[in-house]
Structure 1
Amino acid sequence: MGSTRVTARDVARAAGVSQPTVSRVFSRSAAVDPAKADRVRAAARELGYIPNLVARSLNSGHSFRIGIVLAYLKNGFFSDALQRLSKALNARGYSVTVYFAGNQSDEVDAIVDDLLADRVDGIILASISLSNSLVARVRKSGIPCVLFNRGQADPDVSMVTAANVAGARAATEFLIAGGHTRIAHLAGWRKSMNGRDRQAGFLAAMAAAGLAPVACVDCHFRRSVAMDETRKLFAEGPGADAIFAANDHMAFGVLEVLRAELGLRVPEDVSVIGYDDAPMAGWKTFDLTTVRQPLERMTRKTVDLLIARITEPDAPPEKIEIPGDLIVRGSARHPPGWTPPPEHTPQPRT
């Protein structure tokens, strides 16, 4: 004889609450007193209760599934972001499906077809290198979407980014204050707004100091390209005394070339600053000075925006820029007399 399925009524009885309270806890459709919610979850675990997500979907007309679209995970920033986005969405009652998309037209079409077939309630487009055609196709599909860490000059798209111009300017000003005059910028992809904005911040700081860049080259946010450009930079002349890379993924490659191939000291011979504060930036191997993307705040705002668009499809789009901090470590020369104020002391990533 098979075992009897545990019901919400059984959980309610064991937890000393009403059956609707059990439903609210597992649907996250309304606030529940935390103490009651804890009792419900404890009783559910003890009894082996499995919420009926299919019934929940049928009753609400929603799948409670979010699609997160990425181009790749080689950059540690995106794996960290994916984990945080998934956790935040799970806490709001949504499951997550991850899709990987290239920029070829057939791949774009296939991804959009998959998103429609899977009946996701919303989409987060989370890679800088995803094509504008994919964004346009997603918008045309009518599925609510938010761009994460990716800007686009489209007034009808909601997006959450770091304050890229200000962050890049702060990084460049730090190098200039450290006495550097031959500064190169290994730029991100110039077809992306993030890449253009970081380059704009770099050029603005250089112009204000009356300096011309040693180099300013599009590296497509790719580590291998940044490594090749670093080799060229030092093969064709005196090179640079400082390099600002548009993301940490590239900066790690720059450090490898400078130290392992060229035998240069960092920061005595060349200072290096990155952008993102990816998890590996704090490792002693890299000890990378970098601009921290405010990942926790960006994640929270992205999830809030997407759920708002799911519940209110006619809500106007929002564009949110969140300032980050320059995290000073050992890869860049410190300006004379510089001491880290409390807000610039490297803190654990939260």
Structure 2
Amino acid sequence: MVSEKVTSNDVARLAGVSQSAVSRFFTPGTSVSKRTAEKIKAAADELGYRPNVLARSLITGKSRIIGLVVAYLENYFYPDVVERLSRLLQDKGYHVLVFISSLAADKVEEITQEILDYQVDGIVLASANMSSELAARCHASGVPIVLFNRLQDDEKLSAVTSDNRGGGRMLALHLVETGRRRIAYIAGFEGASTQRDRERGFREGLDEAGQALFARDVGNFRYEEAQAAARRLFAAPEAERPDAVFVCNDHMAFAVMDVLRFELNLTIPGDVAVVGFDDVPPARWPSYNLTTIRQSVDDMVAETVATLLSAIEGDVSPARRVCLPGALVVRGSSQPAKPI
């Protein structure tokens, strides 16, 4: 025999309070007196009552759900971001619905349309690209969007990023200062603003130091593709191959380092200096000891949540573009190969 579902009216009767008090107790952003809250909680626990979140959203017009779109979780950077964003949003009374998309804008359109069907209160788009057409549709529907670690040309979209261009420049100057002269670059996904900005800053830093990029290949932010790029770049004789390489993110840099050491029998940093971008946990492991740019993830997450919730709460100010500085972290992978 199936027992009848416990309702808020049952809780109200047992607690000796009104049904509206029970509703306020279970609605984020509202409150009741401490004594009333204690009675409602005790009654709810005794009856095993759980509020119907979906039904409540129909009444309030707010789902308290945030859609979070990520292109991939293979890179250590994004599971960390998902966890920190989820924790902070939960602290603010929101639930997070995670969707896995791809780097390509057409797939993001499919996913984002699905998210809109869930009546989310807002969207955080991380590691993926959104077309201007889809952005316009979301904007017209009144659903706020914040881009995380990405930029778009659409001025109506708020975005929170690191200073990718400045980070690329710092890495170029660092490699030159360590005496490297044949400096290569392995790019990420060509359509990503992070890739474009990091490469732009890197080339500017080399130019500032009187050098030109020695060689270039593409890893598309994928481990296997970064491995293949390393094999192509370093297949030449010693005098014709790079003596340093900036890999667009740490995830790909680990792949490059594995190929250099275990397939090509090259030493790091003796034969080749390697630098990355992000400062994910394995970068600090002795097996990699990777020089990289540290992104201020906590600050990025805090700015993203503040921007999104402000828009959800009705702020009609122009879109925010927040660019946070990164820090150069020098480790063993880029030490000078010999005195200079």
Relative to the length of structure 1, the TM-score reads 0.81
The 5 Å alignment of 1:288-307 reads 288-307=290-309
Three-state SS of the structure 2 residue aligned to 1:235 is coil
CA contact (8 A) 1:188 1:221 kept: yes
CA contact (8 A) 1:177 1:335 kept: no
Amino acid at match of 1:240: P
Larger Rg: 2
In 1, the alpha carbon distance for the partners of 2:214 and 2:130 equals: 30
Structure 1: 5+ residue stretches without partners:
338-350
Instruction: Please name the residue that 1:286 is paired with.
Output: 288
Distance 1:244 1:119, change over 3 A: same
CA contact (8 A) 2:101 2:128 kept: no
In 1, the alpha carbon distance for the partners of 2:130 and 2:257 equals: 27
Distance 1:268 1:10, change over 3 A: same
Instruction: Please name the residue that 2:322 is paired with.
Output: 320
In 2, the alpha carbon distance for the partners of 1:277 and 1:228 equals: 23
Quote the offset at 1:146 in angstroms. 0.6
In 2, the alpha carbon distance for the partners of 1:54 and 1:135 equals: 26
CA contact (8 A) 1:185 1:215 kept: yes
CA contact (8 A) 2:217 2:233 kept: no
1:310 paired with 2:312, answer yes
CA contact (8 A) 1:8 1:49 kept: no
Cα-to-partner distance string for 1:106-150 (whole Å, 9 max, x where unaligned):
745532331222111111111145555554543344321110110
Three-state SS of the structure 2 residue aligned to 1:123 is strand
Distance 1:133 1:305, change over 3 A: same
In 2, the alpha carbon distance for the partners of 1:137 and 1:103 equals: 20
1:79 paired with 2:79, answer yes
Instruction: Please name the residue that 1:169 is paired with.
Output: 169
CA contact (8 A) 1:188 1:218 kept: yes
Distance 1:105 1:75, change over 3 A: closer
In 2, the alpha carbon distance for the partners of 1:294 and 1:64 equals: 27
Three-state SS of the structure 1 residue aligned to 2:274 is strand
Structure 2: 5+ residue stretches without partners:
none
1:188 paired with 2:188, answer yes
Cα-to-partner distance string for 1:291-319 (whole Å, 9 max, x where unaligned):
11111111111111111111115231000
In 1, the alpha carbon distance for the partners of 2:179 and 2:308 equals: 45
- Equivalent position to 1:251, from 250, 253, 257: 253
Distance 1:233 1:103, change over 3 A: closer
In 2, the alpha carbon distance for the partners of 1:41 and 1:164 equals: 50
In 2, the alpha carbon distance for the partners of 1:44 and 1:292 equals: 49
Amino acid at match of 1:254: V
Distance 1:241 1:45, change over 3 A: farther
Amino acid at match of 1:146: V
Instruction: Please name the residue that 2:153 is paired with.
Output: 153
1:264 paired with 2:303, answer no
In 1, the alpha carbon distance for the partners of 2:5 and 2:114 equals: 37
Relative to the length of structure 2, the TM-score reads 0.83
In 1, the alpha carbon distance for the partners of 2:19 and 2:194 equals: 49
Quote the offset at 1:57 in angstroms. 2.1
Quote the offset at 1:101 in angstroms. 2.4
Quote the offset at 1:173 in angstroms. 1.6
In 1, the alpha carbon distance for the partners of 2:290 and 2:131 equals: 30
